[in-house]
Structure 1
Amino acid sequence: MPLLLPLFLLLAILLAAPVSEARSQTSASPTLSELKDRVLAKSALLFDASTGKEIFARNPDTPFPPASTTKLMTALLLYEKKGLAGSMKITAADTGVEPSHVPLIAGETVSISDLVHALLISSDNDAAMALARYVAGSSTAFVDLMNQRAIDLGCTRTHFANPNGLPAPNEYVTAHDLLKIFQKVLTIPELRQIMRLKTYTIETESGTHVMKNHNRLLGLYPGMGPAKTGWTLSSRHTYAASASRDGRELQLIILNSKDKWPDAIAIFNYGFANLVPLAPPPSLKPGPE
């Protein structure tokens, strides 16, 4: 494992060092051969949004459990069906879905904005259940909407079983399909902004809750943008993330990884080091005066 050690050391430095020092540790780019050896994910996909081309792909059409990257679809449907304004009354059916960093109490009223922040920043599962009921009346009806929207987006090997991504039979997604969902979410400025927040404070009947973004690379990896993390014992690490430099946005999907952080660093580094130059715009010929 001689190639793995430097990257894991890099990750330890990245997460422990001050931001200014951490940024200096993220520029080393592996070769393609090294990248293939280093990446732990069973499925990964790196996409250049400027060219519409894939830079790196590993098993992009093999289905794997999505874990909490499922919440990207939950947020998308919420935005498209109801928007982010307003509030809702919490019921007992919405509560007790662990893990929850913002415990919801039946009978309290919570703003939709706060719930979607909890959904995307601290990945709260009870927020996902509450928002599903808010949009569709029940989680079962909401899941039907999720699967129909996936079909509409061209996702051919994806099936959702719940709004939060907790392990369930017959729940899977491919890297290609998850990229389509992620790209649609990225077209919504409000959702992009939420996913880029490092922290967010919510006041509920259970108290004051300061949520920290689960994306550990936010503010540390140069150019890190919106992202959604995921993990369960069965899915392992999952990740949908974007990073931008000099106007070029790369979009990354990771599924079934032992550790998404070194995978993400290595794949992004490789991508930014191997960008295809954009063709210059056609020159304009002067017209008749």
Structure 2
Amino acid sequence: MGKLFLSLVVVLSLAGTGVAGANKDNASFQQMASQINADAWVVMDNRTGRIIAERNKDMRYYPASITKIGTAIMALERGRLDDVVTISKAAAATEGSSLELTSGDKLTLRDLLYGIILHSGNDGAAAIAEHISGDENQFAKEMTLFLRTIGARNTNFTNASGLPDDQHYTTASDMAVITRYAMSNPVFRDIAAAKSYDWKDELWSKRLEDHERPEAKILGLSWDGTAQIVNHNRLLTLYEGAIGVKNGFTDEARYTLVGAAQRNGTELIAVALKSENAVSAYQDMAKLLDYGFTVTATETVANEQPVEVVESQAELPRYAGKAEEPAQPVIDPESASSGGNPGILYLLTGILGFIAVSYLVYALRKPKRNVR
């Protein structure tokens, strides 16, 4: 049985290999990881989809407003930018961050997309959902299925904005996949990178101005009194080469942040979930991106197929999922930190199977004694 034991040791040693496993033995990785406040995070090469570094990438957490990345790309594939959307009473009453919309207001889908990505308007997200699918609940079901078709298989959304719900969750890995897909759309890229967007004068309010004026100052934008919404993703100013993407906050999710940046021909996506405060979220993002650029500058890029940036919205693949398909099993995101990675279960099952097969081979080869 000595060979069996040796084989088992080999299986166990190989089980921990891979990008993340190798990184965990790397001193620079350990130094970077020890400084990250977020509970879960991922750094991905946008060209190849390769995960450069991660922690708790498959654990489920509340996403807060980074949900709107999914809402936006879903809307871009199902609607048209010049569609006119009439705001319903239900959408206008959506709680949380608001574009101060009122029932009967009319905006284009383009306006609302800028409104939800730059200003993070929950009312705008609800209005988009109603326009695309009839009601927000139906939209959330369709969005979950749509995101599953592009590879986000551990995500379940119950609304379009990111308001907390026990059944509304995602993972750092899934958010990187969702963002990578979204960033292949040139319209989404333009929206995510915009620092401001002209708003309709008739929909402007003192409350909106009081909210946006200090954000403009943080981004270094001059305020000339015109109606304009400002991007609340401060990474655009804080990090050299930043090109988006979206920030979020709720009491349950704490601070969430998805960032994308370009340097020296490399484009990275990073996700940080459950940072304790806004300052630490942006600090986390800078450290993750710095580490990713250092790694990609010194190692060979993995041989994987890139995501092509399409030339027009018409060339994007169209979602064809069925809304009546069942959603993923519900999980309480609060148990994420103690939850298990399904890979561990697969590993244990494989080890047990290996032992059983090896023992069977050993038994069959063992000389038989004559028994009378």
Contact 2:242–2:260 under 8 Å retained in 1: yes
For residue 250 of structure 1, what is the aligned residue in structure 2?
268
The one-letter code sitting in structure 1 at the alignment partner of 2:74 is L
User: Does 1:73 find its partner at 2:93?
Assistant: no
Cα pair 1:105 1:205 within 8 Å, conserved? no
List aligned pairs for 1:66-105, cutoff 5 A.
66-105=63-102
Give unmatched runs, 5+ long, in structure 2: 1-26, 206-226, 303-372
TM-score, normalised with respect to structure 1: 0.82
Which position in structure 2 is the counterpart of 1:217? 235
State how far apart, in whole Å, the 2-side matches of 1:253 and 1:100 are: 21
Mark the CA change 1:100 to 1:64 in structure 2 (over 3 Å): closer, same or farther.
Answer: closer
Offset from partner CA, 1:116-151 (integer Å, 9 cap, x none): 100111110000000000000111111111111122
Q: Which has the larger radius of gyration?
A: 2
Residue aligning to 1:269: 290
1:110·1:204 contact (CA, 8 Å) conserved in 2?
Answer: no
Decide which of 228, 251, 254 is 1:233's aligned counterpart.
Answer: 251
Q: 1:220 offset after TM fit, Å?
A: 3.2
Q: Which residue of 2 aligns with 1:179?
A: 176
- The superposition leaves residues 13-36 of structure 1 with CA deviations (integer Å, 9 ceiling, x where unpaired) of xxxxxxxxxxxxxxxxx9322211
Please tell me whether the aligned partners of residues 243 and 250 of structure 1 are also in contact (alpha carbons under 8 angstroms). Answer: yes
Counterpart code for 1:270? Y
Alpha carbons 1:44, 1:254 under 8 Å: kept: yes
CA distance in 1, matches of 2:97, 2:164: 16
Are residue 38 (structure 1) and residue 35 (structure 2) matched? yes
Select 1:132's aligned residue among 104, 129, 144.
129
Per-residue deviation, 1:51: 4.3
> How many Å separate the matches in 2 of 1:52 and 1:132?
28
Identity of aligned residues (%): 31
Checking the alignment, whether the CA contact within 8 Å between 2:46 and 2:180 is kept in structure 1 is: no
Say which structure is richer in strand: 1
1:98–1:38 distance in 2 versus 1, CA, 3 Å: same
- 2:45 corresponding residue in structure 1: 48
For 1:226 and 1:172, locate their aligned partners in 2 and report how far apart those are by CA, in whole Å: 22
Q: Which shifted more, 53-62 or 93-102?
A: 93-102
Q: Are the aligned partners of 1:45 and 1:56 in contact in 2 as well (CA < 8 Å)?
A: yes
2:158 to 157, 161, 174: 161
Write the distance in 1 (CA, Å) between the matches of 2:106 and 2:179: 29
Change (3 A) 1:201 1:153: same
In terms of mean alpha carbon deviation, does 130-139 or 267-276 score higher? 267-276
Find the aligned partners of 1:176 and 1:147 in 2 and give their Cα distance: 15
What per-residue deviation string (whole Å, max 9, x for no partner) do you get for residues 216-241 of structure 1? 12033111012111111110111121
1:149 aligns with 2:146: yes
Q: After TM superposition, what 4+ stretches of structure 1 lie above 6 angstroms from structure 2?
A: none
TM-score under structure 2 length normalisation = 0.64
Q: Is the 8 A contact 2:42 2:172 kept in 1?
A: yes
Structure 2 residue identity aligned to 1:191: F
Secondary structure of the 1:261 match is helix
Deviation at 1:101, TM superposition (A): 4.3
- Asked if the contact 2:98/2:124 (under 8 Å) is kept, the reply is no
Number of residue pairs the alignment of both structures matches = 251
Question: Structure 1 residue 99: deviation in Å?
Answer: 3.1
